[in-house]
């Protein structure tokens, strides 16, 4: 198969079909089929990023999602945000995150800083 840029929806569907076919054969890394799969996946990813951009999550929703993922309670956020009442103010959108809070949440929970910096949605 000749690999070419993905410019149209038709190109995209054809690339996805080829990826599906290649994945069924489970090619090894470094093999011609494995290289072709890697290149096609990269092209599809780039096309989808351009065609279907995803917005960053709302900061409070990102925090709540990470809490759910890791089984955290509001008290677990105290080292990053401050006293429990401050945590509840943040989670209930009564108070904005500060830059030090953003960095601590980013470093300790792995939440993308870009998501935490965004203006939260209003209730």
Q: Write phi, then psi, for 58 (nearest 5 degrees).
A: -60, 140
- Statement to judge: residues 69 and 104 lie in one domain: yes
Domain that holds residue 18: 9-51
pLDDT tens sequence across 10-42:
999 999 999 999 999 888 888 988 999 999 999
| CA 80 – CA 45 distance, rounded (Å) | 34
For residue 41, being part of any structural domain is answered with yes
For residue 24, being part of any structural domain is answered with yes
- Statement to judge: residues 112 and 79 lie in one domain: yes
Helices (H) and strands (E) in the chain, counts: 7, 0
For residue 66, being part of any structural domain is answered with yes
pLDDT tens sequence across 25-84:
888 888 988 999 999 999 999 999 899 887 777 899 999 999 999 999 999 999 999 999
CA angle 16, 21, 27 (to 5 degrees): 115
Query: Taking the model in full, what pTM does it have?
Result: 0.57
- Statement to judge: residues 87 and 109 lie in one domain: yes
Helix ranges restricted to H, the chain: 9-24, 32-51, 59-70, 78-81, 84-91, 99-109, 113-117
């Amino acid at each position: 198969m000749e690999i070419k840029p993905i410019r149209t929806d038709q190109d995209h569907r054809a690339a996805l079909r080829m990826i599906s076919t290649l994945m069924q054969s489970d090619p090894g890394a470094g093999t011609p089929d494995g290289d072709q799969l890697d290149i096609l996946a990269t092209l599809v990813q780039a096309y989808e990023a351009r065609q279907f951009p995803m917005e960053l999550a709302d900061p409070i929703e990102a925090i709540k999602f990470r809490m759910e993922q890791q089984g955290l309670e509001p008290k677990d956020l105290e080292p990053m945000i401050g006293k429990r009442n401050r945590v509840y103010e943040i989670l209930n959108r009564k108070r904005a995150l500060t830059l030090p809070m953003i960095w601590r949440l980013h470093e300790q929970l792995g939440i993308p800083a870009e998501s935490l910096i965004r203006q939260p949605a209003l209730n």
